[in-house]
A and B are shown apart, each in its own frame.
Chain A
Amino acid sequence: MHTFVYQRATSLADAVAVLKAKPDARPLAGGMTLLPTMKLGLAAPSDLIDLSAIGDLRGIRRNGDRVVIGAMTRHAEVAASAEVRAAIPALASLADGIGDAQVRNRGTLGGSVANSDPAADYPAAVLGLDANVLTDRRTIAADQFFLGMFATALDAGELIRAVEFRVPKRAGYAKFPNPASRYAMVGVLVADYGGSVRVAVTGAGACAFRVPTLEAALGKQFSAAAIEGIEVSASELNTDLHGSAEYRAHLVGVMARRAVAAALG
């Protein structure tokens, strides 16, 4: 690992200012992705701006039909939150299924979403739960946020403040873990907003995406049977050591049905 300057920001404005002044500086959340990448020599930031002391970035609150979660909120906090469990139990259970206890105690919502790892769980929730990503300068709708593998709509130096999820009538998340990493090989979040349904998939493609055919079928009838037999195209999906695109496409269907079953309780 190369030498770098560590500093702890005291406010969002402070962090944004440093990031603006130093183009090679990077924000540090829980370090769960950033530090291993640095150790492997894949990233060599000049400065790490630790966000953990910025109180505004932390916390979970209900705001009308939205649940707003601060960027620095740890996965374990989301998993255990009474607010989240009451409003969107699928989101709590998704957070509870990320990595292991150590990772859940360090890893953050903002870090995960900013990173847009194609196999991360949260992107499925952000997209499936019709969320807005609130940054230091604007609001980005989920449908505009994930642009590709490790690519988002965030500008250089732009910081996520919070993510606000729209509370569905019911929702379910089903994850097929990669046997080795236990990240999502395919994760499907299904959210029923009464008439309209959102189906978001992570793990299978370059970044999280929605599946209109499944959404349409579930919009008509919210049941696992309604999507039985609907084939998902493999053409844009990932092929790697652990699974072909065809396998992932098949798993999208299986996990979507399991997510619906979970939503129906």
Chain B
Amino acid sequence: MVEVKSNGLIGQAVKRTEDLRFITGRGQYTDDMSRRQMVYAAMVRSPLAHARIRSVDTSAARAAPGVIAVYTGADMAADKIGGLPCGWAVKNKDGSAQAEPAHPAMQVERVRHVGDHVAVVIAETQAEARAAAELVNVDYEELPVVVDARAALAPGAPQVHAEAPNNLCFDWELGDASAVAAAFSKAAHIVKLDLRNNRLIPNAMEPRSCIGDFDSSTSENTLITASQNPHVIRLLLAAFVFGIPEHKFRVVAPDVGGGFGSKIYPYPEDVIVLWVARKIGRPVKWTATRSEAFLSDAQGRDHYSHVELALDKDANFLGLKVDTIANLGGYLSTFAPAVPTYLYGTLLAGCYRTPAIYVNVKGVFTHTAPVDAYRGAGRPEATFVVERIVEQAARQLKIDPAELRRRNFIPTDGFPYQTPVALTYDTGNYHATLASGLKLADYAGFAARKAEAAKRGKLRGIGISTYIEACGIAPSAVAGALGARAGLFEAATIRVNPTGSVTVLTGSHSHGQGHETTFAQVVADMLGIPMESVEIVHGDTGKIPFGMGTYGSRSLAVGGAAIVNATRKVIDKGRRIAAHLLEASAEDIEFTGGRYVVKGTDRAKAFGEVAFTAYVPHNFPHETEEPGLEESAFYDPKNFTYPAGCHVCELEIDPDTGVVEIVKFSASDDFGRIVNPMIVEGQVHGGLVQGIGQALLENCVYDESGQLLTGSYLDYCMPRADDVPSFQVMTECTPCTHNALGVKGCGEAGAIGSPPAVINAILDALSGLGVTDVPMPATPHVVWSAIRAAKGRQVA
């Protein structure tokens, strides 16, 4: 693998070129788009978490003003529209397959969560559709409900799916149980924790929206949808839901206002608008209200874990044992089975050389919205387990938490490192990020700051998290062996236009990440042309050859690598054309600064001249080359990438109210090489805010009857600017060893590393009071209650 060297643009904090249209309101999101004769859909959703549908009376809705049609689950079943497929098959401990109940886009017989789809109303205007949706009269027979994953496993619990006895989707394991048992038997110390990873609602700024359209004269189907990966949507809907061929099916994901994972998947609404458009012969648009987003976007996290760490007398980690129950919601979302298994269990080694690890995960159905990947997807849950138990061990053994980490890190000369949980880390330097993170945080000066805060009546604490994650998803063969039903490569085309400008077609999808800037930097740098001469095109199956989309911090590490390979093919073909023009042999020509130069001479052809020759091939090597200058590449990564780093949170607690104020947050991250440091910093900031949000503020709560109690911003607490401090961030660099850019990915690290840093800092602040655990989110009430309970214990 030949590394891409920077010619100046790679590594620059270039301002985001896409922002002009976004901040001047000229972005084109799905809801901004119209089609001729377009009509509107409104969903009729279940108000109950579990019920049998006795009957659906649509007569009043049909008679309402503007209404064109009302369809129910039965209508959809009659048209033989398939259910939403699951993209990942996890195996049980005993080798049997996961339970995989059907997920129809609209229900016929039974609803399984509040917000589940029962019927759709189509009307001339959105207001008419929504008003008429309220007139659909569904007769429900209420059934018992279970929302908590542990309760769902209990004997006698209400059953979500007949196909999943005891609500168990899978009972999965990874690691060597007997090696772990042996490690525990010789341990000097065993540290234990029970942890809950709170459930979150993604809350992308743009609510989901989609438009279905069908042209009966050409049999072309079009779906415009706020999605992170249009090609995968097309593949899944074409093959499994509609049975229509892909060449007659175009999926467009235009400007998309954030996804955080929630827009990876095909949703029932995507199916419904296209199905209805085909039925009525008019385009159909649906846009979620914010309330619908709360009820129906795939949610994140929701684990219960029991963790045990065995250490020897010198505090070396000997073994780690984890039991997790993961809530999957009422239906299997596309990647739901992968998140609490292969994106979670495989990360339990953390940055440490723990020799024996075993994890058992039970994936469980409940009467709640489906749960799937949300920023970090499995890795935040793993990091929370590892970094909380390591901190707990440090406290219990009275060792400085930084020192305990240092003692157990994989040594810097220990790479490649094979973990006991399937992954091979290619490179890293955890000592470096820890050292610079601590320095950034002035860890050494903390005691003085704590004493000063105490004088003001505040409890000050500091907490560390040294996370690792696996990005650049994914080597297809590995993913396939682990149950993925799709490949995870990426595709790119570099189309050089006759006058030398370049159109880049990428299968990655930007929904806030700034690809239009970063990718253009890479291509312009490699070709030695100005960035303005490079246009990035994404998000349209009608334009882009193929793609697997954006999630798992894969865009630059996988999509960018495909772009590099295609660009190199362009450069090589250009070299052969230049050789012809310069009457030299291709081997004697080097490409530098946008020019093909005959080595050791001043004879050269500019890239633009060569491009022009390719399209006006009068003097051209026709014997050996085809005209034109356009190359494609499909890139399948050899390994995951492994960003890692050190987050340090420092905070103060008001013991009177339980209010936590983060006074300083420092992050030293190793993302490998960096193409645009400003964009990376922005990604880190956003991730940190989401991680801090999970730790302190955000919580998705259902009551016992399955009603969503946090169904609006009145009760679901999104982080605001004044909830977080100004971040101190920096990077270290060990370049990724297996992609040409040396990049690892930075999109999720902030959300992965920060929650345990925050909770560890709270526990540090409260350690003097005897508080040993605080659940997430650590709201003022939670913290105050923990303080009060500890005081009660001390009195008793």
B656 touching A254 by the CB < 8 A rule? Answer: yes
B715 touching A181 by the CB < 8 A rule? Answer: yes
Known contacts: A241-B701, A247-B784. The answer to whether A179 contacts B291 by CB under 8 A is no
A176 surroundings in chain B (CB, below 8 A): 657, 780
- Quick check: which of B29-37, B401-409, B538-546, B706-714 contacts chain A, the rest being far away? B706-714
A181 touching B714 by the CB < 8 A rule? Answer: yes
A251 touching B657 by the CB < 8 A rule? Answer: yes
Known contacts: A179-B697, A181-B714, A241-B715. The answer to whether A247 contacts B781 by CB under 8 A is yes
* B454 within 8 Å of A (CB atoms): no
* A180 within 8 Å of B (CB atoms): yes
A250 touching B784 by the CB < 8 A rule? Answer: yes
A250 surroundings in chain B (CB, below 8 A): 784
Question: Total number of A-B contacts with CB less than 8 angstroms?
Answer: 41
B784 nearest in chain A by CB position: A247
* B151 within 8 Å of A (CB atoms): no
Q: How far is the CA of A250 from the CA of B780 in the complex (A)?
A: 12
**B contact set with A: CB distance below 8 Å:** 127, 131, 134, 291, 656-657, 697, 699, 701, 709-710, 713-718, 779-781, 784-785
**A contact set with B: CB distance below 8 Å:** 1-2, 40-41, 176, 179-181, 183, 241-244, 247, 250-251, 254
Instruction: Name the residue in B131, B699, B715, B785 with the highest tally of chain A Cβ atoms < 10 Å from its Cβ.
Output: B715
B699 surroundings in chain A (CB, below 8 A): 241
A180 touching B714 by the CB < 8 A rule? Answer: yes
21 example contacts (A-B, Cβ-Cβ < 8 A) are as follows A176-B657, A176-B780, A179-B717, A179-B779, A179-B780, A180-B697, A180-B713, A180-B716, A180-B717, A180-B718, A181-B713, A181-B714, A241-B715, A243-B781, A244-B781, A244-B785, A247-B784, A250-B784, A251-B657, A254-B656, A254-B657
A41 touching B134 by the CB < 8 A rule? Answer: yes
Return the 7 tightest CB-CB contacts between A and B, nearest first: A180-B717, A181-B714, A243-B781, A179-B717, A254-B656, A247-B781, A180-B715
- Closest Cβ of chain A to B128, distance in Å, is 10
- Closest Cβ of chain A to B67, distance in Å, is 15
Instruction: Name the residue in A41, A180, A181, A251 with the highest tally of chain B Cβ atoms < 10 Å from its Cβ.
Output: A180
A1 surroundings in chain B (CB, below 8 A): 127
B780 touching A241 by the CB < 8 A rule? Answer: no
Q: How far is the CA of A2 from the CA of B65 in the complex (A)?
A: 12
B717 surroundings in chain A (CB, below 8 A): 179-180
B697 nearest in chain A by CB position: A179
Chain B contact residues: helix, strand, loop or mixed: loop
Q: How far is the CA of A229 from the CA of B304 in the complex (A)?
A: 39
Return the contact of B779 from the options A183, A242, A251 (Cβ within 8 A).
A242
Return the contact of A241 from the options B656, B710, B784 (Cβ within 8 A).
B710
B714 surroundings in chain A (CB, below 8 A): 180-181, 183
A247 touching B291 by the CB < 8 A rule? Answer: no
Q: How far is the CA of A152 from the CA of B86 in the complex (A)?
A: 53
B713 surroundings in chain A (CB, below 8 A): 180-181
B289 nearest in chain A by CB position: A39
A179-B780, A181-B714 given. 7 additional CB < 8 A pairs? A176-B657, A180-B710, A181-B713, A181-B715, A241-B715, A243-B780, A244-B781
A247 touching B785 by the CB < 8 A rule? Answer: yes
A250 nearest in chain B by CB position: B784
A2 nearest in chain B by CB position: B131
A183 surroundings in chain B (CB, below 8 A): 714
Q: How far is the CA of A41 from the CA of B131 in the complex (A)?
A: 10
B699 nearest in chain A by CB position: A241
Q: How far is the CA of A176 from the CA of B780 in the complex (A)?
A: 10
- Closest Cβ of chain B to A258, distance in Å, is 9
- Closest Cβ of chain A to B168, distance in Å, is 29
- Closest Cβ of chain A to B417, distance in Å, is 41
A254 surroundings in chain B (CB, below 8 A): 656-657
Q: How far is the CA of A244 from the CA of B789 in the complex (A)?
A: 14
A251 surroundings in chain B (CB, below 8 A): 657
A179 surroundings in chain B (CB, below 8 A): 697, 717, 779-780
B131 surroundings in chain A (CB, below 8 A): 2
B709 surroundings in chain A (CB, below 8 A): 241
- Closest Cβ of chain A to B88, distance in Å, is 33
B697 surroundings in chain A (CB, below 8 A): 179-180
Instruction: Name the residue in A41, A176, A241 with the highest tally of chain B Cβ atoms < 10 Å from its Cβ.
Output: A241
B719 nearest in chain A by CB position: A179
- Closest Cβ of chain B to A145, distance in Å, is 25
Q: How far is the CA of A241 from the CA of B779 in the complex (A)?
A: 10
B291 surroundings in chain A (CB, below 8 A): 40
A182 nearest in chain B by CB position: B720
- Closest Cβ of chain B to A98, distance in Å, is 15
B716 surroundings in chain A (CB, below 8 A): 180
Q: How far is the CA of A181 from the CA of B717 in the complex (A)?
A: 7
Q: How far is the CA of A150 from the CA of B697 in the complex (A)?
A: 27
Q: How far is the CA of A125 from the CA of B350 in the complex (A)?
A: 54
Instruction: Name the residue in A40, A179, A241 with the highest tally of chain B Cβ atoms < 10 Å from its Cβ.
Output: A179
Known contacts: A2-B131, A41-B134, A181-B715. The answer to whether A242 contacts B781 by CB under 8 A is yes
Instruction: Name the residue in B291, B697, B717 with the highest tally of chain A Cβ atoms < 10 Å from its Cβ.
Output: B717
Q: How far is the CA of A120 from the CA of B718 in the complex (A)?
A: 20
Q: How far is the CA of A254 from the CA of B788 in the complex (A)?
A: 15
Q: How far is the CA of A183 from the CA of B717 in the complex (A)?
A: 12
Instruction: Name the residue in B714, B718, B781 with the highest tally of chain A Cβ atoms < 10 Å from its Cβ.
Output: B781
A2 surroundings in chain B (CB, below 8 A): 131
Q: How far is the CA of A2 from the CA of B709 in the complex (A)?
A: 25
Q: How far is the CA of A2 from the CA of B638 in the complex (A)?
A: 57
B781 surroundings in chain A (CB, below 8 A): 242-244, 247
B656 surroundings in chain A (CB, below 8 A): 254
A100 nearest in chain B by CB position: B720
- Closest Cβ of chain A to B784, distance in Å, is 6
Q: How far is the CA of A61 from the CA of B460 in the complex (A)?
A: 47
Q: How far is the CA of A251 from the CA of B780 in the complex (A)?
A: 11
- Closest Cβ of chain A to B721, distance in Å, is 12
- Closest Cβ of chain B to A67, distance in Å, is 30
A247 surroundings in chain B (CB, below 8 A): 781, 784-785
Q: How far is the CA of A176 from the CA of B658 in the complex (A)?
A: 11
Q: How far is the CA of A181 from the CA of B131 in the complex (A)?
A: 28
- Closest Cβ of chain B to A99, distance in Å, is 12
- Closest Cβ of chain B to A261, distance in Å, is 12
Q: How far is the CA of A13 from the CA of B465 in the complex (A)?
A: 66
- Closest Cβ of chain B to A248, distance in Å, is 9
- Closest Cβ of chain B to A232, distance in Å, is 14
- Closest Cβ of chain B to A188, distance in Å, is 13
B710 surroundings in chain A (CB, below 8 A): 180, 241
A180 nearest in chain B by CB position: B717
B701 surroundings in chain A (CB, below 8 A): 241
- Closest Cβ of chain A to B207, distance in Å, is 14
Q: How far is the CA of A181 from the CA of B134 in the complex (A)?
A: 28
Q: How far is the CA of A181 from the CA of B713 in the complex (A)?
A: 6
Q: How far is the CA of A183 from the CA of B713 in the complex (A)?
A: 12
B718 surroundings in chain A (CB, below 8 A): 180
Q: How far is the CA of A228 from the CA of B127 in the complex (A)?
A: 55
